Amino acid sequence: MSEAVEPSRMTPSQPMPAFSWLHPALRGDPLLAAVIGLVLAGALAILVLHPAPYLVNMVGQLAAFAILAVSLDLVWGYLGILSLGHGLFFAIGGYVCAMHLLSHAYAVTGVAPDLMQFMGWKTLPLYWSGLASAPYALVVALVLSAAIAFLFGYASFRSRVNGVYFSIISQALVYVAMLLMFRNDTGLGGNNGMTGFPLLFGYPIGAPGMVTGLTVATLLALALILVGTRALVVGRIGRRMLACRDDEARLRTLGYSATRLKLGIWCLSATIAAIAGILYVPQVGIINPRVLSPDLSIEIAVWVAIGGMGRLGGAVIGAVAVNALKFWLSAAMPEAWPFILSGLVLVVVLGLPNGLLDLAALRLKPTWLQRGGRLG
């Protein structure tokens, strides 16, 4: 029997594998490992350094948007399904969270929310029953988003609706939902939406400690979702996803059900988007039908395209970079933001098909270096 080589006796021809200290699911994607490390470091820094509440709140919103971008990248980057209606599932999570916050505050304080006074309600309607409980509200948000995704996905995938047609139908769906939510008789705030959330788990929602807790929870949720989705896409299901994206007909010929595969990942993606909405609403303190605007759903696709499709870490980078720029320009030059966003899209489409990740692939040619950095 041959002896095992001790670490101290290993020769230079037997190097340790790169990134061997990482979780197996992350070893093949150092970018994602770095992003997760930064996310966890950010959570720790917030807990230790106690930055200004407005800065902490901004980080929490960016993390929620990053979760939303990951949900779309899962179906677009790995399945080739471009959804222009993911704002619907984001809104479902947000609206159910808002209903919970208002129900909980009403149960604790006995003070009727503005929505009840506006609608002339004496009590909250029957379909609000039980939403004062956070676990029940969480289950309702996730199940409702998954159920709507299942019904829409089953009808589409069973009929072999793909490509641009699926994108158009998904955008039409979110647009119909927006028109519905603008109506006051839906009982969800109409055009004004829902706001005035005083409490979360019985504590003031605007307190610095609560702001910090929400942001850290969002960052931790982002890290967990990144690890979980990475483990999914590098496994057997992930290989089938890529096969379905590249050649769905051949996958069907080999005896695999592309419909079930797409439907399962589509529902998972919708659930992740709903989680983003749940975490986002308490941090901004309001939700209205504008989250169902097709503009938001298109922006989500822009985040993923700029960060790089099919790279979960790229989706996070794209969402954070674009929204951080948007936050700054909204205060400095609000009228310039639409033009800058359009310019970014053109740059990505024409020059960076893999988004910002293409910039990392650029290398200076040796001949250029030998010339001392002079062209020609």
Q: For residue 304, which of 89, 67, 146 has the smallest C-alpha distance?
A: 67
Q: How many CA atoms lie within 13 A of 160 on its CB side?
A: 4
Q: What is the pTM of this model?
A: 0.87
Tokens of 196: 């005035």
Summarize the confidence of residues 192-202 as an average pLDDT. 87
Distance CA 156, CA 169 (A): 9
Query: Which backbone phi and psi does 200 adopt, to 5 degrees?
Result: -140, 120
Distance CA 272, CA 270 (A): 5
| Helix, strand or coil, per DSSP, at residue 204 | strand
Instruction: Taking the CA atoms of 287, 290, 291 and 296 in sequence, report the sign of the dihedral they define.
Output: negative
- The domain locations on the chain are 28-360
Q: Can you name the residues that pair with 199 across neighbouring β-strands? A: 204
Residue 69 has pLDDT above 80, yes or no: yes
Q: How many residues does the chain have?
A: 376
pLDDT at 337: 75
Residue 333 has pLDDT above 90, yes or no: no
Q: What is the CA radius of gyration of the chain?
A: 23
Q: Per residue in 104-146, pLDDT tens?
A: 988 888 888 888 877 778 888 888 889 999 999 999 999 999 9
Q: Which CATH class is domain 28-360?
A: mainly alpha
Q: For residue 87, which of 192, 147, 173 has the smallest C-alpha distance?
A: 173
C-alpha angle 47-51-55 in degrees, rounded to nearest 5: 115
Burial 167-198 (b: 16+ CB within 10 A, else e): bebbbebbbebbeebbeeeebbbbeebbbebb
Q: For residue 203, which of 129, 104, 279 has the smallest C-alpha distance?
A: 104
Q: Per residue in 142-167, pLDDT tens?
A: 999 999 999 999 999 998 888 889 99
Q: For residue 101, which of 287, 269, 247, 260 has the smallest C-alpha distance?
A: 287
Residue 252 has pLDDT above 70, yes or no: yes
Q: Per residue in 22-49, pLDDT tens?
A: 556 666 788 899 999 999 999 999 999 9
Summarize the confidence of residues 180-186 as an average pLDDT. 86
**Do 60 and 218 meet the contact criterion of CB atoms below 8 Å apart?**
yes
Q: For residue 314, which of 118, 28, 15, 29 has the smallest C-alpha distance?
A: 29
| Helix, strand or coil, per DSSP, at residue 290 | helix
Confidence of residue 367 (pLDDT cuts 50, 70, 90): very low
**Do 16 and 298 meet the contact criterion of CB atoms below 8 Å apart?**
no
pLDDT at 362: 53
If one compares 335 and 213, the residue with the highest pLDDT of the two is: 213
**Mean pLDDT for the chain overall:** 85
| Helix, strand or coil, per DSSP, at residue 161 | coil
